[in-house]
Amino acid sequence: MTTREITYLEAVREAMSQEMRENEDVFILGEDIGVYGGAFGVTRGMIEEFGPERVRNTPISEAAIAGAAVGSALTGMRPILELQFSDFITIAMDQIVNQAAKTRYMFGGKGKVPMVLRTPAGSGTGAAAQHSQSLEAWMAHIPGLKVVQPSTAYDAKGLLKAAMDDDNPVIFYEHKLLYKTSSNVPEESYKIELGKADIKREGTDVTIVATAIMVHKALEAAEVLEKDGISAEVIDPRTIVPLDKETIIESVKKTGKLIVVHEAVKRGGIGGEIVGVIAESEAFDYLDAPIIRLGGKEVPIPYNPNLEKAAIPQVPDIIAAVKKTVRK
Amino acid sequence: MMAKEIFMPKLSSTMSVGTLIQWFKEEGDSVEIGEPLFEILTDKIEIEVEAYEEGILLKKYFKQDDEVPVNQIIGYIGEADEQVPDSSPGQSASEHDESDEEIKQSQPAAAEQSSPPEEKVRATPAARRIAKENDLNLSIIQGSGPNGRIQQQDLLDYLNSDAEKVKITPLAQKIAKEQEIDISTLKGTGSNGKITKQDIIPAPAESQTAITSARRKMSGIRKVISKRMLHSVQSVPHVTLTSEIDMTNIKELRQSLLPIIEKQTDLRITYTDILVKAVGSAMTRHPQINISIDGDEIIQHSSVNIGVAVAIEDGLIVPVIHDAAHKGLAEIVKQSKQLGKLARSNQLTSENLTGATFTISNLGMYAIDAFTPIINLPEIAILGVGRIQEKPVVVNGSIEVRSMMAVSLSFDHRAIDGAPAAAFLTELKQILENPYELLV
């Protein structure tokens, strides 16, 4: 496979474009995704290639966008909808939770909802309290939804292919600050199975489970920790539903220590779920220190850039947590 | 199955209440037969009481320092979901007086064979798993984690070190841990060099040299002594007779007996041992001394049982040599050594401590010439013994150097009068100055 370095944003666009060339049932809909290219420019150039029938600008109504996607999916289409900011998922909540997630089950499998909801999440852009949240735990709580959080361009392309192939609704969280990061991505289409975690860095002293942008912060922390003689293993679950419990359990059995890091508010965050999985698993007997969760502070994301940074875990926080856990 | 009562055991005929020193288990803990369950203080001793039922400790009605009448129900053991009363239902219905079974089960020696509770050990799951795999007791491991938490590495260090070869009883482990004593610094005196409780108790005293002023609660035994001494002084009209005894012959006797008895018993005979024998003989000749008072009655005892005061940490305890008059010196030596050892290790049983009819308190190892001892109730007399000193003494009109020893006999004037007490003391002096009388 030929690879080249492209950005996360380009990887998402490429996955959609390749799929749309192959499968004419796939189309995208959302606010300003046409000529404007979407809030972050992900769909830029797509309307020129695929035309306004398959790259559909919508009114500013997330409920309507989601409802249209659910309806078209039920009729056999494979829609990809884009919500400009994942905060607005609240407006689409009924369509997602009560329709998309339930329909296949309630019709005994006779109908299916093969749709992908793509949406940028996270803070760091100065977009303040209503445009910076990480609400993935809400989605993860609903049976019938799959929840994906890619952290690299490579993962984004492969996971989006898997999401588009899936016959169930998939919530695909793209992190705003990751759009401009790049990695080697194959030109051809490929698929990364949902529910397979990726060990981003192998280590022996502590397991750091990190999601989305925190994967990069964890890797940075691991780099620093290595100089202090601490070998950290960084696991990116990539999809929080389904969650690759096995990989995390095996890692904790190996290291005996666990740090979970996510940007979302710690209280009620997916970190608690991951910790719970470990506490219930055979890895419990291998735990050699209390588990530490790092998550966002219990505050709305502030507009002030310094406070915005302080509201979520940063590299020094991860280093400190590891050092508290690993005594070397 | 009905929940089983736990009650305050009656450990001697004179015991009416016991003070709860501590519980070893919390409510909800599971309890095995033979595990130490709680510790009590009677009017004579401190003793650990073991569980004689297995199950869950469902209820504790009393807490530390509570005084509880004997046979009072102090808790229940049973199945986890059993209902028990909210407060103590009172006296146990079953007959427990002088229950030999419980007394036997309360022997500290037996307690050392069972495991101490591990619930309070702070250890990570990984540490617990490794401890279990290696059959290690976590309470002996030093935790190096936060709050003393035992972590995997501590276990691995322990397994890799020689520490695993340290043999230690669970009870000793518990004490060492509580007092933060490094067991690797201790020498075991138990069988096969096992570290026992008595190997640990003196340790803190050695390391603590600086004394800071502080106010602390009296220890259990201190309270008992305090109460009993005050009671004796306040309720008994003490009279103290003193006499000086020429111990020259006894000194010679002891010198010649030393190798003989050492050969027989491996032990050295002391003056106290000889005094026990001599007092025993004198008392058989003066049975009016071998009595005790109970209310307005006088109890005449048939056998002479001599208590010997032994200083222990924070107190004084009086183990008893029963039937001293009819025992040979070798036998007395053996018994008094054994009792002394048990006393210092706090292992005396109720039987070792009850039934004395007379007490000897010997301070002769110090620079004490004479003192007035306080009677150990319900006995009616006590002998205080001073040091043996070479003195110029007039013998048959000439001055000779003799080994002299002052003794003081305190007696209860309610029970006997000066003349019979004086006759007894004279008899004792006679025996000690002419030790062949011991043969009679």
Q: Find the range with the poorest average confidence among A188-202, A224-238, B93-107.
A: B93-107
Q: What is the CATH number of domain B4-111?
A: 2.40.50.100
- Residue type for position A171: I
- Does a structural domain hold residue A88? yes
The verdict on pTM exceeding 0.80 is no
Q: Given B126, B144, B153, which is nearest A287 (Cβ)?
A: B126
Instruction: Please indicate, yes or no, whether residues A162 and A260 belong to a single structural domain of this protein.
Output: no
Q: Which residues have CB under 8 Å from B417's CB, separation 6+?
A: none
DSSP state of B375: P
Mean pLDDT, range B74-100, rounded to an integer:
73
Instruction: Please indicate, yes or no, whether residues A149 and A265 belong to a single structural domain of this protein.
Output: no
pLDDT tens digits, A294-311:
999 999 999 999 999 999
Mean pLDDT, range A71-76, rounded to an integer:
97
Instruction: Please indicate, yes or no, whether residues A175 and A255 belong to a single structural domain of this protein.
Output: no
Min Cα distance B16 → chain A (Å) is: 49
Residue whose pair of structure tokens reads 């759009």 in the numeric block: A179
**How far is Cα B116 from Cα B394, in angstroms, rounded to an integer?**
64
Cβ–Cβ gap A289/B125 under 8 Å:
no
Looking at the predicted structure, is the pLDDT value of residue B112 above 50? no
Which stretches of chain A sit within 8 Å of chain B by CB?
A: 256, 284-289, 327
Question: Could you give the angle at the alpha carbon of B7 between the alpha carbons of B1 and B13, nearest 5°?
Answer: 135
Looking at the predicted structure, is the pLDDT value of residue B153 above 60? yes
Structural domain that includes position A22 = 3-186
The residue from A164, A186, A208 where one domain ends is A186
**Residues of chain A contacting B128 with CB distance shorter than 8 Å:** 285
In chain B, CATH 4.10.320.10 covers: 125-207
Instruction: Please indicate, yes or no, whether residues A247 and A180 belong to a single structural domain of this protein.
Output: no
- Does a structural domain hold residue A151? yes
pLDDT for the residue B104: 40
Highest mean pLDDT out of A188-202, B40-54, B139-153, B423-437 = A188-202
Cβ–Cβ gap A288/B152 under 8 Å:
yes
Instruction: Please indicate, yes or no, whether residues A163 and A262 belong to a single structural domain of this protein.
Output: no
- Does a structural domain hold residue A251? yes
Q: Given B125, B129, B145, which is nearest A327 (Cβ)?
A: B145
Instruction: Please indicate, yes or no, whether residues A152 and A174 belong to a single structural domain of this protein.
Output: yes
- Does a structural domain hold residue A121? yes
Take residue A141 and report the two structure tokens written for it. Answer: 């709580």
Looking at the predicted structure, is the pLDDT value of residue B316 above 70? yes
**Residues of chain B contacting A287 with CB distance shorter than 8 Å:** 124-126
Highest mean pLDDT out of A78-82, B68-72, B321-325 = A78-82
Q: Given B129, B144, B145, which is nearest A286 (Cβ)?
A: B129
**How far is Cα A245 from Cα A73, in angstroms, rounded to an integer?**
30
Cβ–Cβ gap B151/A289 under 8 Å:
yes
Looking at the predicted structure, is the pLDDT value of residue A164 above 70? yes
For the segment(s) B222-439, the CATH number from 3.30.559.10, 3.30.930.10, 3.20.20.70, 2.40.110.10 is 3.30.559.10
**Residues of chain B contacting A258 with CB distance shorter than 8 Å:** none
pLDDT for the residue B113: 40
Highest mean pLDDT out of A69-83, B282-296, B339-353 = A69-83
Cβ–Cβ gap A327/B126 under 8 Å:
no
Instruction: Please indicate, yes or no, whether residues A134 and A274 belong to a single structural domain of this protein.
Output: no
What is the third-level CATH fold of B125-207? Dihydrolipoamide Transferase (4.10.320)
Nearest Cα to B359, choosing from B314, B312, B412?
B412
Mean pLDDT, range A57-77, rounded to an integer:
97
The total domain count for chain A is 2
pLDDT tier at B343, thresholds 50, 70, 90: confident
* Residues of B marked as catalytic: 413
Residue A287, helix vs strand vs coil: coil
Q: Given A284, A285, A288, which is nearest B151 (Cβ)?
A: A288
Bridge-based pairing state of the strands A232-236 and A206-210: parallel
Instruction: Please indicate, yes or no, whether residues A216 and A286 belong to a single structural domain of this protein.
Output: yes
Cβ–Cβ gap A289/B128 under 8 Å:
no
Looking at the predicted structure, is the pLDDT value of residue B144 above 90? no
Q: ipTM of the predicted structure? A: 0.77
**Residues of chain B contacting A289 with CB distance shorter than 8 Å:** 124, 145, 151
- Does a structural domain hold residue A192? no
- Does a structural domain hold residue A193? no
The residue from A186, A217, A245 where one domain ends is A186
pLDDT tier at A133, thresholds 50, 70, 90: very high
Cβ–Cβ gap B125/A287 under 8 Å:
yes
CATH code where residue A33 lies:
3.40.50.970
C-alpha dihedral sign at B23, B29, B33, B35: negative
C-alpha dist (Å) from residue A200 to A15, A160, A181, B7: 22, 19, 16, 62
Mean pLDDT, range A135-163, rounded to an integer:
98
Instruction: Please indicate, yes or no, whether residues A158 and A233 belong to a single structural domain of this protein.
Output: no
CATH code where residue A261 lies:
3.40.50.920
pLDDT tens digits, A211-247:
999 999 999 999 999 999 999 999 999 999 999 999 9
pLDDT for the residue B111: 38
The residue from A130, A163, A186 where one domain ends is A186
Looking at the predicted structure, is the pLDDT value of residue A81 above 50? yes
pLDDT tier at B93, thresholds 50, 70, 90: low
pLDDT for the residue B118: 43
pLDDT tier at A281, thresholds 50, 70, 90: very high
Q: Is A131 a catalytic residue?
A: yes
Instruction: Please indicate, yes or no, whether residues A145 and A244 belong to a single structural domain of this protein.
Output: no
- Does a structural domain hold residue A191? no
In chain B, CATH 3.30.559.10 covers: 222-439
Instruction: Please indicate, yes or no, whether residues A164 and A225 belong to a single structural domain of this protein.
Output: no
**Residues of chain A contacting B124 with CB distance shorter than 8 Å:** 256, 287-289
Looking at the predicted structure, is the pLDDT value of residue B114 above 60? no
pLDDT tens digits, B271-297:
999 999 999 999 999 999 999 988 888
Instruction: Please indicate, yes or no, whether residues A154 and A265 belong to a single structural domain of this protein.
Output: no
